[in-house]
């Protein structure tokens, strides 16, 4: 009986040690596997596929962002969210989507800002009225908008509405400004300024479109400086200094 009990005890201890050995082996294997998976030398990302229609975001710009992750350029440890955040912080990047392609390639799709206008001669506006911290290039033919920064979206919307209203005519907007009171003045490509004020801007443009052809029949429009439409029953014309001297 004693011998049988002793055999059972030894068997239990042996099973216990085998269990501990198994746990140790699994744990050791887990940490070795984890180290291998997270070691940038084991599964390094060496390939880059850059897609999207790009004119300003070069491959060097993207690689400069990836270089900040040089110690984490591993297939499993790469911080995609952080890279996306850094890319979208670039002025010309509207959005960036990133995917990993097994075993060593990173695919990045870039959507550049769609520029709608220049802003205060020192920045740009995208199509959503967001200010882009990029100095306008003199060679770019963007309409010139200006106003308070917090009103940028409203100024852009006003421009788009007036542009659509003028589209059937041959008049085109070269610039539009809005002051702190939200009073609007626009400049046509022919150099004539239209003072629209704060209210009824669309209605006042329609008055201009109806009246100006008759004005052009009787006057040299090249001598007109501005047309003031801030009247309930009509408009006023301001002449260039040359005309005043004559």
DSSP 8-class letter at 52: S
CA distance 19 to 164: 79
- The predicted model gives 207-234 an average pLDDT of 92
Domain boundary among the residues 66, 82, 112 is at 112
Domain boundary among the residues 64, 96, 112 is at 112
pLDDT digits (tens, 9 = 90+) for 77-124: 788 899 999 999 999 999 999 998 888 889 999 999 999 999 999 999
For position 137, what pLDDT does the model report? 84
**CATH number of the CATH domain containing 231:** 3.40.50.11690
Report yes or no on 214 lying in a domain.
yes
> Which pairing describes strands 184-188 and 193-197: parallel, antiparallel, or unpaired?
antiparallel
Tell me: do 175 and 77 sit in the same domain: no
Q: What is the pTM of this model?
A: 0.78
Report yes or no on 157 lying in a domain.
yes
Tell me: do 76 and 130 sit in the same domain: no
Tell me: do 183 and 240 sit in the same domain: yes
Least confident of 62-71, 147-156, 198-207, 221-230: 62-71
Q: How many domains does the chain have?
A: 2
Tell me: do 232 and 119 sit in the same domain: yes
Tell me: do 83 and 147 sit in the same domain: no
DSSP 8-class letter at 44: B
Report yes or no on 220 lying in a domain.
yes
pLDDT digits (tens, 9 = 90+) for 66-84: 888 877 777 777 888 999 9
Does pLDDT of 210 surpass 80?
Answer: yes
Tell me: do 55 and 124 sit in the same domain: no
Report yes or no on 204 lying in a domain.
yes
Does pLDDT of 16 surpass 50?
Answer: yes
Tell me: do 90 and 120 sit in the same domain: no
Report yes or no on 9 lying in a domain.
no
Helix (H, G, I), strand (E, B) or coil at 195: strand
Tell me: do 142 and 71 sit in the same domain: no
Report yes or no on 86 lying in a domain.
yes
CA distance 106 to 67: 13
Asked if 94 and 37 count as a contact pair (C-beta separation under 8 A), the reply is no
Q: Which domain holds residue 95?
A: 47-112
């Amino acid at each position: 009986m004693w011998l049988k009990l002793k055999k059972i005890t030894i068997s239990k201890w042996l099973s216990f040690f085998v269990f501990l050995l198994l746990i140790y082996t699994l744990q050791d294997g887990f940490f070795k596997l984890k180290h291998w998976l997270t070691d940038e030398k084991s599964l390094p990302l060496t390939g880059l596929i850059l897609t999207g229609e790009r004119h300003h975001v070069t491959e060097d710009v993207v690689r400069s962002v990836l270089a900040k992750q040089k110690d984490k350029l591993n297939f499993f440890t790469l911080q995609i969210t952080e890279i996306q955040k850094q890319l979208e912080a670039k002025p010309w990047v509207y959005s960036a989507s990133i995917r990993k392609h097994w075993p060593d390639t990173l695919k990045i799709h870039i959507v550049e800002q769609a520029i709608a206008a220049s802003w205060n001669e020192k920045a740009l506006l995208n199509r959503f009225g967001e200010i882009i911290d990029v100095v306008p290039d003199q060679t770019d033919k963007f309409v010139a908008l200006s106003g308070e920064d917090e009103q940028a979206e409203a100024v852009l919307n006003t421009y788009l509405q007036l542009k659509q209203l003028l589209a059937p005519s041959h008049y085109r907007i070269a610039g539009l400004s809005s002051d702190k009171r939200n009073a609007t003045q626009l400049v046509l490509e022919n150099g004539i300024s239209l003072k629209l004020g704060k209210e009824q801007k669309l209605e006042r443009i329609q008055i201009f479109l109806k009246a100006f052809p008759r004005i052009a029949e009787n006057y040299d429009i090249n001598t007109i400086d501005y047309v003031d439409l801030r009247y309930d029953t009509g408009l006023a014309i301001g002449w260039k200094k040359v005309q005043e001297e004559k």
